[in-house]
Structure 1
Amino acid sequence: MKKELLFAFTAFFFMSLSAITGAYALEKEEVETVIYNNKLDYFHDGTLETIQLKGIAAKEDKKSFKELALEVYDSTGTKKSAQIEGGYHPTLQMVDIDKSKNQAMLLKVLTDEKGSNAANYLYTFAHKELKELALPELPGITSEFKADYKAELTIEGLKTYSFNLVERKERYEKLGIYRKGQLNEPTEMMVQPYSSLTTMIYHHKPAFKGKQKICGVADSDTIAYMETIWTRSNNKWKLEKIKMKEISKKL
């Protein structure tokens, strides 16, 4: 009996050890991929810095990265790094944001596989410190649905935009947003983060062009796209232009 118990215990021990080893092996299978690698004279002092974007693929979805890291090595090999939230198709671009000698790093990570939403990040390596810069942002935005299937969006100190949503009448009535054209309860629109943030030249100056989606009752309920152009000087963003494109859509 004792021999049988000893045999069973020994078998259980080796099975457990095998399971632990297997789990460890799975963890070891995680491979870090270098997505972007660039050597450049960032400070224009004759030495090279290395900029890398690395990622670890998600096990459940090989098309996405569960972790991302921006790493910058100076000429002595000293590393500065920043952890970035994972996602799909990450890209890194060196950009000039204010006509300075030192460029910034613009990162874009899609937050869904379709590419309809994205997260954008902007970093600099000034004074050999990796620092995240705030993206250009509009002042306070307020929005509300109005009676008779209308809506308004106000950008504080700038302009109020009006939208005719009568084409969505049937859908909004079914959802209980309206009852015979009257609003059931206060309802706001949603202004999404930048789905696109690209560089351009505006009046001979480096600039960013941003695109944001304005939604109604759901992400798929696109009411308009808002495009903005920004320049930067003295560490501050300046809004140069804004354009609103209303979407006519029957839901």
Structure 2
Amino acid sequence: MKKETFLAFVGFFLLSLTTVVYAVEEKAKTVTISEQKADITGDTELETILLKGVPYQEEEDFLKEIFIEIKASNGKKYTFPLESGAKASFQLVDLNHDGVRDVLATVQTGGSGGIVLSFLHSLKNFVHTDLTVPDPVEMESRFVNDYKAEIKIKETGKTYPFDLKDRKLYYKKLGLYYKGKLNEPTELMVNSYSSLKPVELGEGKLGLKGVQRIAGIANADTICFVESTWRYLNGKWNLLEVKVKKEAN
């Protein structure tokens, strides 16, 4: 192959590659998931709040990028990145009790655990503050002998026992127990929030209620749900109440 012919071939290849990359980038269009107009700065003027995402080409239901875009009344644009996920939504609620609504965004991860990721932002006086939602409740969990389990809430120190004899055959088949005794120490599956939503606290104040699902040896092996109620006070989230239930509300 002559040098001129080789160089021409290389040039054509590079041009083709650039065209392919450009075409891929062109397909990665940003989509608007939802939009609201409201005053979230406290100046009585309306901002435009948009929830946007960039879907994967091969899986349009899953968004590889998700972000909040705010077109503020001062002419500036603010962008708050979120995490990737299957679905996303947002609502405007005053959770830090400063008289101005905050942006609470939720992203569903799309996994079998049903986990949601939440993000909370304030733009009062055009100053961005990441309020950060409360961490999930910390707890110790384990299976115990005689087909039972227990969880202990670290914050309160309270322990909750569970009788799982109705799953005896299932656990024996999996080798978790032998003649009622646990074969080896085994923790439960403590999931992060499957739900984190605003809740009335009284006196016109709002807080957050989180729900965590506790499972046995698989996500389908649900043992209980832990509900936690939180209030934002003095610049941080305070745990008000914890309830442990066998069924989710």
Q: Which interval holds the TM-score relative to the shorter structure?
A: 0.7 to 0.9
SS class of match (1:85): coil
Could you tell which deviates more after superposition, 156-165 or 59-68? 156-165
Task: Determine whether 1:175 maps to 2:174.
Answer: yes
Give 1:24's aligned residue. Answer: 22
RMSD of aligned C-alpha atoms? 2.5
Give 2:210's aligned residue. Answer: 210
Give 2:128's aligned residue. Answer: 130
Indicate how the Cα distance of structure 1 residues 139 and 208 shifts in structure 2: closer, same or farther if over 3 A, else same.
Answer: closer
Question: Contact 1:58–1:64 (CA<8 Å) still a contact in 2?
Answer: yes
- 2:35 aligns with one of 25, 37, 43: 37
Unaligned 5+ segments in structure 2 are none
- CA distance in 1 between counterparts of 2:112 and 2:187 reads 25
Indicate how the Cα distance of structure 1 residues 190 and 93 shifts in structure 2: closer, same or farther if over 3 A, else same.
Answer: same
SS class of match (2:167): helix
Indicate how the Cα distance of structure 1 residues 113 and 137 shifts in structure 2: closer, same or farther if over 3 A, else same.
Answer: closer
Give 2:51's aligned residue. Answer: 53
The percentage of counterpart residues that share the same residue type is 37
Structure 1 residue 107: Cα displacement? 0.9
SS class of match (1:91): strand
Structure 1 residue 164: Cα displacement? 1.0
In the alignment of these two chains, the number of paired residues is 245
Indicate how the Cα distance of structure 1 residues 152 and 227 shifts in structure 2: closer, same or farther if over 3 A, else same.
Answer: same
Structure 1 residue 98: Cα displacement? 4.2
Indicate how the Cα distance of structure 1 residues 130 and 35 shifts in structure 2: closer, same or farther if over 3 A, else same.
Answer: farther
SS class of match (2:184): coil
Give 2:238's aligned residue. Answer: 238
Q: Give the letter aligned to residue 39 of structure 1.
A: K
Q: Output the TM-score relative to the length of structure 1.
A: 0.85
Give 1:154's aligned residue. Answer: 152
Measured against aligned partners, the alpha-carbon deviations of 1:11-43 in whole angstroms (never above 9, x if no partner) come to 453244223212211212211112233332223
Q: Give the letter aligned to residue 224 of structure 2.
A: A
Task: Determine whether 1:81 maps to 2:79.
Answer: yes
- CA distance in 2 between counterparts of 1:21 and 1:27 reads 10
SS class of match (1:87): coil
Task: Determine whether 1:63 maps to 2:68.
Answer: no
Unaligned 5+ segments in structure 1 are none
Measured against aligned partners, the alpha-carbon deviations of 1:53-112 in whole angstroms (never above 9, x if no partner) come to 211011121011110122234333323322211111200110121443111111111111
- CA distance in 2 between counterparts of 1:161 and 1:14 reads 69
Q: Give the letter aligned to residue 82 of structure 1.
A: F
- CA distance in 2 between counterparts of 1:181 and 1:114 reads 29
Measured against aligned partners, the alpha-carbon deviations of 1:200-246 in whole angstroms (never above 9, x if no partner) come to 22334323222110011222221111222223333333333332222
